[in-house]
Amino acid sequence: MLYLLYYGFWAILVAFAVWSCLAGAADERWAAAMMCVAALLTRIVGDAFNTHWHRPQLGVLAVDIGLLFGLVVLALRSRRFWPLTVASVQLIAVLTHPALWIDPAILPFGYALMQGFWAYPMMLVVAIGAWRHVRRQGRHEHAPEHAGVLAATPRSDRG
């Protein structure tokens, strides 16, 4: 059963990444790339420290914080709403790490499940963002992709 969950996640991640890169705009591609890198780094860090989720995963926490930072920057730069949603869900994933510090009696499977669960709604939201991008293109609604807080200030044509 656990192998089905493990390999199922990687299959869904690959399908999500392909869809987001082919159908999505820059925001969707950036989010997919960041999430794929984070998944690979989580796998590498998890193998390196191999605590089997019996104690807090500090390496995974570092990867999750890095992904949160990247998604917040994306959300601040984007004109779309979905990056804010994805960054918010990632914040929830980051905040599940201290649960084991608060209550060491949490079962390792429960801790691992809390960590892995949040990737699915994040992938779903980004995939929906890519689908909506395809719909916008079909209706010829073109809006600049980045005009948020961190976007460059437009220059004035007045001398």
Task: Give me the pLDDT at residue 103, please.
Answer: 84
User: From first to last of its 159 residues, what are the pLDDT tens digits of the chain?
Assistant: 667 777 889 999 999 999 999 999 999 999 999 999 999 999 898 777 666 777 778 899 999 999 999 999 999 999 999 999 999 999 999 998 888 888 888 887 788 788 888 999 999 999 999 999 999 888 765 555 555 555 544 444 444
Task: Give me the pLDDT at residue 159, please.
Answer: 41
What DSSP assignment string belongs to 61-125? HHHHHHHHHHHHHHHHHBSSSHHHHHHHHHHHHHHTTTHHHH-TTS-HHHHHHHHHHTHHHHHHH
Q: Looking at beta carbons, which pairs linking 140-147 to residues 24 or more positions away fall under 8 Å?
A: 143/79, 144/79, 145/25, 145/26, 145/27, 145/78, 145/79, 145/80, 146/26, 146/27, 146/77, 146/78, 146/79, 147/79
Give Dmax over CA atoms of the chain in angstroms.
67
- Tell me how far apart the alpha carbons of residues 83 and 129 are, in angstroms, rounded to a whole number: 9
